[in-house]
Amino acid sequence: MKIEQLYTRGLAEASYYIECNGEAAIIDPLRDPQPYLTLARKNKAKIRFILETHFHADFVSGHQELAEKTGATIVFGPTATPMYKAHVAKDGEILSLGDCSIRVMHTPGHSLESSTYLLIDNNGKDYAIFTGDTLFIDDVGRPDLVQRVKAEMTPDFLAGLLFDSLRNKIIPLADEVLVYPGHGAGSACGRKIGEMTFDTLGRQKQTNFALSQDITRDEFIRRVTENLAEPPAYYPFNILMNATGDIPDLEEVLKKGNRALSSKDFYLQWQAEDAVVIDTRQVADFQRQYIPGSLFIGLCDDFSSWVGNVVKDIRQPILLVTEKGRERESIIHLSRIGYHNIIGYLKEGVKGWSKDGFETAAVPVIGHQQYAGFTVKEPGLVILDLRTECEYKAHHLPQSINMPLESIPHKSGQLQKSRSYLLCCDSGYRATIAYSLLKLDGFQRVTCVEGDLTAVPVL
């Protein structure tokens, strides 16, 4: 028996390859089928099942494309209504996998169809559970995401179902059973997910509040529904894509988006399509020289989540400015979360754009040593700290205002364009995204702080 966790840090998402005696099952695959095909080929195994724990909100599943390439059966748990060929299993149904087996356990709460898959070894012993978004390490899945698609599915109602699922299906399992969740720390599908990517159920019974025998149903519902952050705007679209199967082939998305455009053609497409230009280069490169009107979101572990937070229309035509050789990578990252309408990239980059006579600009940046003098020269200056509320509470400059980056698109209207703004975070990355957003919104007097201003104790 073999279990491999394929962890994607940008989405804090875990998919799984399970193999028993030459037969394999894939749990919650991402868009690109190649990693799963490579594993099966390497191990000379046949992929028989593609198991979906639920209709995902935070990424577009690769289940259909993988099924087409392998002939594997797509499996959902009870109450799922996929609009394509799939097997909707009964609660408790057993799937044979080589000399092992997998039991389908319906565990609604995060969503109505949410299910956990229990892997049973060749001796008939419960070995591991693959919990999707039902149970995380030190946390549980949010019960409010389905409401974005079905208004009648209130968080309180789903939280009650989740409480019952944990009590009736998960807690009775043996302590030595391994827990393999669908997400790790950083995912917006939970609130305070632990740093470990798997654990034993026994340890989770000791550390995870949701599995405590002392917590009441009412207290559980209160804890999992209070103070929930607004989820990224693309989540409802992904749920619908995964349910309807209306997902374009990845190769077609790449073919359409991976087109090199001259500066002139890039400009004409920008104007004709009313596209958003996303610059995925490094912070320093964007700050040194960028195209006015472009949006900075540099490729990094959190790229996908920041795109989802600040580009509200998932159907928006997108043009790319990238580091040379990272065009395909940028497109794949966007397609993972359903941004499929990429129409090309700037062939010669920003330098070519400038050489061809088009306008460029530089981001005004100050270092720590310049900060005190800068603030004195700018009466009425507003310092915006773009980090999360928790980060801000832990350490911040006394005169700064906390405005988490994800709130900028809908809170910038509260800012006065006549004022001057100084943007800071912990690296310059979030500040630079905010800079590009504010410039797009017509703010003129905006400056970024180089690096981590908040690390300076007194200025």
Report whether CATH 3.40.50.2300 matches the domain 365-455. Answer: no
Q: Within 10 Å of residue 51's Cβ, how many Cβ atoms? A: 28
What kind and span of H or E run contains 104? strand 100-106
Q: How many residues does the chain have?
A: 459
pLDDT of 457 strictly over 70:
no
The ranges assigned to domains in the chain are: 2-238, 248-355, 365-455
When the pLDDT of each residue in the chain is averaged and rounded to a whole number, the result is: 93
CA distance 202 to 228: 28
Query: What is the residue type of 181?
Result: P
In the structure, what pLDDT confidence band is assigned to residue 454 with cuts at 50, 70 and 90?
Answer: low
Within 333-381, strands assigned E span: 342-346, 365-366
In the structure, what pLDDT confidence band is assigned to residue 302 with cuts at 50, 70 and 90?
Answer: confident
CA atoms within 13 A on the CB side of 363: 32
Residue 228 has a pLDDT of 82
Q: Do 232 and 307 contact (CB within 8 A), yes or no?
A: no
CA distance 449 to 75: 50
The residues with which 106 forms a beta bridge, in sequence order, are 115
Residue 353 has a pLDDT of 98
Q: Within 10 Å of residue 351's Cβ, how many Cβ atoms? A: 11
Residue 455 has a pLDDT of 59
As a whole number, mean pLDDT of residues 426-448 equals 95
In the structure, what pLDDT confidence band is assigned to residue 230 with cuts at 50, 70 and 90?
Answer: confident
CA distance 240 to 94: 28
Residue 11 has a pLDDT of 85
Q: Do 33 and 66 contact (CB within 8 A), yes or no?
A: yes
Residue 441 has a pLDDT of 94
pLDDT of 376 strictly over 70:
no
In the structure, what pLDDT confidence band is assigned to residue 458 with cuts at 50, 70 and 90?
Answer: very low
CA distance 233 to 5: 28
Q: Do 2 and 43 contact (CB within 8 A), yes or no?
A: yes
Q: What is the pLDDT of residues 330-347, one digit of tens each?
A: 999 999 999 999 999 999
CA distance 5 to 145: 25
Question: Which of the 8 DSSP states describes residue 72?
Answer: P
Q: Structure tokens of 459?
A: 């200025």
pLDDT of 231 strictly over 90:
no
What kind and span of H or E run contains 272? helix 263-273
Q: Do 259 and 318 contact (CB within 8 A), yes or no?
A: no
CA distance 193 to 148: 22
CA distance 417 to 438: 9
Q: Vertex 351, ends 292 and 353: CA angle to 5°?
A: 55
In the structure, what pLDDT confidence band is assigned to residue 372 with cuts at 50, 70 and 90?
Answer: low
| pLDDT, greater one: 370 or 41 | 41
CA distance 234 to 435: 22
Q: Vertex 71, ends 29 and 341: CA angle to 5°?
A: 50
The closest alpha carbon to 335, from 226, 236, 258, belongs to 258
CA–CA distances in Å: residue 422 to residues 95, 371, 429: 58, 10, 14
Q: Within 10 Å of residue 433's Cβ, how many Cβ atoms? A: 25
Query: Number of H helices and number of E strands within the chain?
Result: 16, 24
Residue 191 has a pLDDT of 79
Q: Which residue has the tokens 């993988």?
A: 66
Residue 10 has a pLDDT of 78
In the structure, what pLDDT confidence band is assigned to residue 453 with cuts at 50, 70 and 90?
Answer: low
| pLDDT, greater one: 238 or 398 | 238
Q: Do 158 and 148 contact (CB within 8 A), yes or no?
A: no
Domain 248-355 fold is Oxidized Rhodanese; domain 1 (3.40.250)
As a whole number, mean pLDDT of residues 11-40 equals 95
Task: Please provide the CATH number assigned to the domain covering 2-238.
Answer: 3.60.15.10
The closest alpha carbon to 309, from 381, 234, 257, belongs to 234
Q: Do 290 and 358 contact (CB within 8 A), yes or no?
A: no
One DSSP character per residue, 210-258 reads GG-TT--HHHHHHHHHTTPPPPPTTHHHHHHHHHH-----HHHHHHHH-
pLDDT of 414 strictly over 60:
yes
CA distance 59 to 168: 29
Q: Vertex 279, ends 330 and 388: CA angle to 5°?
A: 90
CA–CA distances in Å: residue 257 to residues 160, 313, 334, 344: 44, 17, 11, 5
CA distance 44 to 32: 20
Q: What is the pLDDT of residues 174-229, one digit of tens each?
A: 999 999 999 998 887 887 888 999 999 999 999 999 999 999 999 999 999 998 87
Q: Is 26 helix (H, G, I), strand (E, B) or coil?
A: strand
Q: Structure tokens of 242?
A: 């995964």
Q: What is the pLDDT of residues 109-164, one digit of tens each?
A: 999 999 999 999 999 999 999 999 999 999 999 998 887 677 778 999 999 999 99
Least-confidence region, from 100-109, 176-185, 407-416: 407-416
Residue 238 has a pLDDT of 93
Q: Are both 2-238 and 365-455 of the same fold?
A: no
pLDDT of 459 strictly over 60:
no
Residue 147 has a pLDDT of 74
The percentage of residues in the chain with a pLDDT greater than 70, rounded to a whole number, is: 97
